[in-house]
Amino acid sequence: MADLSLAKDKIRVLLLEGVHPSAVKLFERHGYHQIEYLKTSLSDAELKEKIADAHIIGIRSRTQLSDEVLAYADKLIAIGCFCIGTNQVELDAAKKRGIVVFNAPFSNTRSVAELVLAEAIMLLRRIPHKNAMAHQGGWDKSATGSFEARGKVLGIIGYGHIGSQLSVLAEQLGMQVRYYDIEDKLPMGNAVPVSTLDDLLSEADIVTLHVPQTPQTHMMFGARQLSRMKPGSALINASRGTVVDIDALAEALKSERLSGAAIDVFPQEPKGNDEAFESPLRGLTQCILTPHIGGSTQEAQENIGIEVAGKLVRYSDNGSTLSAVNFPEVSLPAHTDARRLLHIHQNRPGMLNAINQVISESSMNVSGQYLQTDEAIGYVVIDVDSQDTQAILQRLKDIPGTIRARELL
C-alpha cells in the first residue's frame, strides 16, 4: 500500500483539460504547490504514466478514468470532476480502490440553460441557415418558417438542475413548458409534466435533452423518437453525445422532417482544440454545432474551479467526503488538537471491531470517531490524542479488508 500520509509539500496534484486557474490559486492558498497543469486531456498511455504519481487529479468531461487506468493510480486519493457529469469516471472502480470522486453539481447549470434558450430562439427563427447563407453572399429575407418563441411549446427531457432552470427562463419568455422525467419532479411555474416521452414529442415545437449519460439514456433518442416529433420542430442536445443517434438525426435534418437542431455534445469529441472535429452533421446548415461549450463561461468555470478544488482540499486536509458522488458521506469538524486517522475498508462483518481493537490495545485516547458505510465500503475516521501514531497506522493497514488508510499530517 502506497504511503498516503504525506505533508502537503509532497502531495502531487495533476490538473487536466485547462480547468480554471481559480482551482490552482485555491490549492496554492492551502499550501499545495506540487501542481502539474495541462490544457488538454491525455491519451490512455500518457494518463497511466502520469496518474501513477498523482495523489489528486482534476479533470473535465473529456478524460476517461476507466478501471484499467485507475489500476495505475496507486497513490491517488481523490478525483475532482470540474464539471457536472461524472460518466467519464468508472465510479465503482474508483470506490473499490478507496478513491473519492467529487464534482460541481450546479456551478454551470445557468450557463447551459441560457445557451439552450438562445438556441431555441435561433432555431425558431431559422437563423442557422440564414446566417450560413449570408456568409456565402446569400440574402434569405423571408418570414417563411420563422416564429416567435412566445406561446411555443418547449419540451424538456430530464427535469433536473438544468432542465428546471431552463423551464423558468423559458416561461419568462412566454413559452409553454412540458417536461418528461423518469422521476416525479416538482413543476416550476406553470410547467406541465407529461407521462410519456411520446406525449412530449407530439406536442413540442422545440425538444431539448438534459439527461445524464447512463445505460438507460444510451441512444435513447433515435429514429423512432425523431419520427414522433412534430414535423418542422427542432431538437437541442447539450447533455451527452451518446444520448442521440447522430446518424438518424442527420437523416431527419436532410429529409427536412426537422427544421433544425443545436448540438453541443457528440459521440466522438476531439481531445483538444488542435484535433479535427468529424461529424455527419457537418455541412448541414440548419444545425448549430458547438464544441461542447454549454458550461464554458467565465462565471461557471471560475466557480467550478473554486468549488471542486475546495472539496478536494477539504478531503485531503480534513477527511470530509461531504457531497462525494461515489463514497459514504462524512462531514467532519476540524481536528486542531488531535491526530486524525482515516480507514477505508471493504464493508464486511467485524471490521469496526478489528479497528477498535487496534485502537484500544494502543491505549490512545480517542477524542472522536465517525463511521459511514454503503453496501460496498466503510469509511472510519478516528481522532486520537497522541503524536505517536505510526505503529497504529501500520496495524490498521494490516487489518484484512483494508483498502486504504492514511493519517492527516
Q: Which does 60 bind (CB under 5 to 8 A by kind): ligand NAI, ligand HPV, none?
A: ligand HPV
- Positions in 102-121 near ligand NAI (CB under 6 A): 108-109, 112
Contact 367, 384 (CB under 8 A): yes
The residue whose Cβ lies closest to ligand NAI is 160
- Positions in 100-139 near ligand HPV (CB under 6 A): 108
C-alpha span between 209 and 243 (Å, rounded): 8
C-alpha span between 53 and 73 (Å, rounded): 7
Among 202, 290, 296, 362, binds ligand HPV (CB under 6 A): 296
Report DSSP state, residue 158: -
| Cβ 83 to ligand NAI shortest distance, Å | 6
If one asks whether residue 40 binds ligand HPV (CB under 6 A), the answer comes out as no
Give the SS3 label for residue 378. strand
Among 71, 133, 134, 182, binds ligand NAI (CB under 6 A): 182
- Which residue type is seen at 196? T
Q: Which helix (H) or strand (E) holds 153?
A: strand 153-157
Neighbouring CB atoms inside 10 A of 113's CB total 24
Q: Which does 228 bind (CB under 5 to 8 A by kind): ligand NAI, ligand HPV, none?
A: none
CA 8 to chain centre: 27
In the bound state with ligand NAI, the residue whose beta carbon lies nearer, of 130 and 210, is 210
Burial class (CB in 10 A: 0-12, 13-18, 19+), 390: exposed
If one asks whether residue 240 binds ligand NAI (CB under 6 A), the answer comes out as yes
Neighbouring CB atoms inside 10 A of 182's CB total 13
φ, ψ dihedrals at 378, nearest 5°: -125, 150
**Cell numbers standing for residue 81:** 470532476
| Cβ 209 to ligand HPV shortest distance, Å | 12
Mask: binding to ligand NAI, 120-159, rule CB under 6 A, as x and -? -------------------------------------xxx
**Cell numbers standing for residue 108:** 454551470
Catalytic positions are 240, 269, 292
C-alpha span between 374 and 407 (Å, rounded): 22
Q: Which does 157 bind (CB under 5 to 8 A by kind): ligand NAI, ligand HPV, none?
A: ligand NAI
Residues at the site binding ligand HPV, with contacts judged by CB under 6 A: 60-62, 82-85, 108, 292, 295-296
Residues at the site binding ligand NAI, with contacts judged by CB under 6 A: 84-85, 108-109, 112, 157-163, 180-183, 185, 210-214, 216-217, 220, 238-240, 264-265, 292, 294-295
